[in-house]
Structure 1
């Protein structure tokens, strides 16, 4: 499979290594200093860039008839626009706040726990996410996805980085050293606490999941999620 890497920072370089180990070919390594030359020859594009570049990367790919796996966060105010372009160009698209296979299982666990806790008014939910100091957005896309999962399965209505009011989920965003990503969901009451937590040890899991998603998406049209890739019902 021929892959275009849109964004060639630390994550892009790990994705490149894993893709080559799995027998794939890299036909473009796009950064701020080069063009999209070679994009049209790719079977799939993997976008791990920065928020201000993601929309251009995704748009160029759809117009080149190349399906896109995007793990960039912080650009989702343009998500509906990109979905419309994907459909207009008969493209293929998977966008996820986190491609780690373990995190996507964690998402499902979070949803299930939220349903179980939704009738227990004595518990308040809060979240903490810890990432490396180079991360540009806060809270992380993964934390937002976790908060949305709780909101969809409970009486909570929104998340906030500030002090939480009634029916709000407080997210504590911490930037520390070179931490790849730690996410914790807490349910606290006067008598006890329940906590679920995912800790990434390296970037390998995110990169591996992105390559697996690209392998799955190549040759397909439509808008999909990691649930489709993992066959989670």
Structure 2
């Protein structure tokens, strides 16, 4: 498969290594929006760029019907517009706040635990995420996804960052930036009696990179156009 890497920073370089190890070719490495001519030479694109560039990159891919897996966060105010554009051009698209297979299993665990804890109102839920100091957005896209899962399956109505002066129905998210931390997310249910805690800790960027490459492979092999989720990829891998 010929891959376009849209955003060639640390993640782009890690994705390149994983993709080459899996027998793929990197046909384009770009830190700017690709042209139609450049996209003609690729089978799929992986976007790990920056928030202000992501939508333009996606638009270029959709218009050229290039399947694209996007892991850039901080641009989701335009997500619905991207979905409509993908449908309009009958393209294929996966956005994930985190492509790591472990994190996506963690999403399933988080959803299950939230459903279990819903009726136990003595427990207050809180969340903390820690990332490297170069991360541009806070809270992380993964933390927001986890919070939205909890809200959907609990009595909480919204999340708040920073986690100060919370109302009863607000889920607080703490965000901390420490040098060279790949990504840690912890969810804690606390009562006066005890606490229940689940944590995912990334040990390297390779988990994110592998998941992104697997998503691009899955999209390239998918016959039907559409907007998909990492859960769709994960379900295929589990079957």
TM score, norm. by length of structure 1:
0.97
SS of the aligned residue for 2:40 comes to helix
Q: 2:172 aligns with which of 166, 170, 176?
A: 170
Corresponding residue pairs, total = 232
Q: 1:204 aligns with which of 203, 206, 215?
A: 206
Confirm or deny: 8 A CA contact 1:5 1:28 kept in the other structure.
yes
Q: C-alpha distance in 2, partners of 1:226/1:83?
A: 15
Deviations 1:174-201 (A, max 9, x none): 0000101000000000010000000000
Q: C-alpha distance in 2, partners of 1:229/1:204?
A: 17
Q: C-alpha distance in 2, partners of 1:28/1:217?
A: 18
Q: How large is the Cα RMSD of the aligned pairs? A: 1.3
2:190: which partner in 1?
188
Matches within 5 A, 1:40-55: 40-55=40-55
Q: C-alpha distance in 2, partners of 1:219/1:208?
A: 17
Shift of 1:128: 0.2
2:6: which partner in 1?
6
Unaligned runs of 5+ residues in structure 2 are none
Q: Decide whether aligned partners of structure 1 residues 60 and 35 sit closer, same or farther in structure 2, where only a CA change above 3 A counts.
A: closer
SS of the aligned residue for 2:87 comes to helix
1:224: which partner in 2?
228
Q: C-alpha distance in 2, partners of 1:205/1:58?
A: 23
Confirm or deny: 8 A CA contact 2:34 2:57 kept in the other structure.
no
Shift of 1:165: 1.2
Confirm or deny: 8 A CA contact 1:27 1:39 kept in the other structure.
no
Confirm or deny: 8 A CA contact 1:99 1:209 kept in the other structure.
yes
Q: C-alpha distance in 2, partners of 1:71/1:141?
A: 9
Q: C-alpha distance in 2, partners of 1:133/1:185?
A: 21
Shift of 1:40: 2.0
Shift of 1:35: 4.8
TM score, norm. by length of structure 2:
0.94
Shift of 1:59: 0.5
Unaligned runs of 5+ residues in structure 1 are none
Deviates further, 158-167 or 44-53: 158-167
Confirm or deny: 8 A CA contact 2:34 2:60 kept in the other structure.
no
Matches within 5 A, 1:1-233: 1-32=1-32, 35-36=34-35, 37-162=37-162, 163=164, 164-220=166-222, 221-231=225-235
Shift of 1:38: 1.9
